């Protein structure tokens, strides 16, 4: 399918603007582009392929003749409008958490499980940003030597909490340097020069909702009940999430073999030369499409176990890029995307 009519729901947000840029970069075959947001954003004009497009208010009638809609406007918006869009014949790619664990909704990272797209019922879920980059690194290892257990620690940037969170980090960092104090609004504690071992709310098992998202989504995407434990930490970094991951497999995987598997996997770049102090950092990875992996080493405390460091731009592969890649796969399907 070519000459697509595509809508972006939440077009004025961080991820919405990133989707717009990536569509242009990748020359996605958009014939008509519909930009949708809340009423307060309807005077906004955004640029795409040299044209100026006015943002329209999202309503129940917004999806007439729309082939694909990329949603990134919050779970409550997706809950209400995604079924309306799907009923009108639009295929929804939803970037929120609302549909991810719905057994009737495929949860997709195209390099990992694009086969799941064949079974959608009008709605496809984009995984959590930290999950997307994680499974990109896990998939080639898991295919070679099935994973038995994962221990994950994340170091997640404030952009994962939205543009207001980014502004708070910037402003409150400046205040702190000037000797001023401002109460946090976007975070549970002061974010500048600090770490907060809580992302989202705590659940009954004392894990946070973010941690449970990673656990449940990883199992769904890889189609296996791997035992997983996770600790998610918010760090004073603007863009790009980092993860320290301990991977236990059912047979030995050498460091050299791991590097080979990851190097040959699309969308993954190995940056791992400790002699030259080369490994991925959030600052260096920001703005790039690939998932970067470094610090690959054998766990000296456990057999058949590797340690690695995974970094990716959470606004791109963790959100906008993955959504666009799903749309690219949809238009390759032999049947109409709707």
pLDDT > 80? residue 338: no
CATH number at residue 263: 3.30.360.10
pLDDT > 70? residue 187: yes
Q: Are residues 154 and 222 in the same domain?
A: yes
pLDDT > 90? residue 334: no
Q: What percent of the chain has pLDDT over 70?
A: 98
Q: How far apart are CA 321 and CA 316, in angstroms?
A: 5
Q: Is the dihedral of CA 94, 96, 98, 101 positive or negative?
A: positive
Q: Are residues 154 and 281 in the same domain?
A: yes
pLDDT (0 to 100) of residue 42: 87
Residue 326: strand, helix, or coil: helix
Tell me the pTM: 0.95
pLDDT > 90? residue 74: yes
pLDDT (0 to 100) of residue 337: 45
Q: Are residues 102 and 152 in the same domain?
A: no
The answer to whether the beta carbons of residues 176 and 185 sit under 8 Å apart is no
- The runs of H, that is alpha helices, within the chain are 14-25, 75-87, 110-113, 129-144, 163-177, 209-222, 255-263, 282-285, 321-330
Distance of CA 127 to the CA centre of its chain: 6
pLDDT (0 to 100) of residue 313: 98
Q: Are residues 171 and 304 in the same domain?
A: yes
CA 200, 205, 211 angle in degrees (round to 5)?
40
Q: Are residues 272 and 325 in the same domain?
A: no
> What is the per-residue pLDDT across 93-103, written as a single tens digit (0 to 9) for each?
999 999 999 99
Q: Is residue 337 part of a domain?
A: no
Predicted confidence band at 315 (pLDDT cuts at 50, 70, 90)? very high
Range(s) of the domain holding residue 111: 4-126+319-330
For 181, the token pair is 């104090």
Q: How far apart are CA 293 and CA 264, in angstroms?
A: 13
CA 16, 21, 27 angle in degrees (round to 5)?
125
Q: Are residues 29 and 175 in the same domain?
A: no
Q: Are residues 162 and 228 in the same domain?
A: yes
Catalytic residue list: 129, 241
Look over the chain and give the mean of its residue pLDDT values, rounded to a whole number.
96
Q: Is residue 36 part of a domain?
A: yes
Q: Left if phi > 0, otherwise alpha if psi is -120 to 50, otherwise beta: which for 169?
A: alpha
CATH number at residue 88: 3.40.50.720
Q: Is residue 48 part of a domain?
A: yes
> What is the per-residue pLDDT across 188-197, written as a single tens digit (0 to 9) for each?
999 999 999 9
> Looking at residues 1-28, what average pLDDT do you find?
93
Q: Is residue 338 part of a domain?
A: no
> What is the per-residue pLDDT across 121-145, written as a single tens digit (0 to 9) for each?
999 999 999 999 999 999 999 999 9
């Amino acid at each position: 399918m070519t000459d697509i009519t595509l809508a972006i729901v939440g077009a004025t947000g961080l991820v919405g603007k990133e989707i717009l840029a990536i569509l242009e970069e990748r020359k996605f075959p958009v014939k008509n582009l519909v930009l949708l947001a809340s009423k307060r954003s309807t005077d906004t004009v955004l640029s795409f392929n040299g044209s100026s497009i006015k943002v329209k208010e999202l309503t129940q009638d917004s999806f007439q003749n729309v082939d694909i809609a990329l949603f990134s406007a919050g779970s409550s918006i997706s809950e209400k409008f995604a079924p309306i869009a799907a009923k009108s014949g639009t295929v929804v790619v939803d970037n929120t958490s609302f549909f991810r664990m719905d057994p009737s909704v495929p949860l997709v990272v195209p390099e990992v499980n694009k086969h799941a797209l064949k079974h959608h019922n009008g709605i496809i879920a984009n995984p959590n940003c930290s999950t997307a980059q994680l499974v990109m690194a896990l998939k080639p290892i898991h295919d070679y030597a099935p994973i038995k257990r994962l221990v994950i620690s994340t170091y997640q940037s404030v952009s994962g909490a939205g543009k207001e969170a980014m502004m708070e980090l910037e402003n409150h960092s400046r205040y702190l340097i000037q000797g001023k104090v401002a109460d946090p609004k976007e975070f549970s504690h002061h974010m500048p020069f600090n770490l907060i071992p809580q992302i989202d709310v705590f659940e009954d098992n004392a894990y946070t909702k973010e941690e449970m998202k990673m656990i449940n989504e990883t199992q769904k995407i890889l189609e296996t009940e791997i035992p997983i434990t996770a600790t998610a930490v918010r760090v004073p970094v603007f863009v790009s999430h980092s993860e320290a991951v301990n991977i236990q497999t059912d047979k030995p995987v050498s460091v050299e073999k791991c590097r080979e598997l990851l190097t040959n996997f699309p969308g993954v770049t190995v940056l791992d030369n400790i002699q030259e102090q080369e490994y991925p950092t959030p600052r260096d990875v920001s703005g790039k499409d690939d998932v970067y992996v470094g610090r690959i080493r054998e766990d000296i405390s456990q057999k058949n176990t590797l340690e690695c460091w995974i970094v990716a731009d959470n606004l791109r592969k963790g959100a906008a890029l993955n959504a666009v890649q799903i749309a690219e796969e949809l238009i390759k399907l032999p049947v109409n995307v709707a």
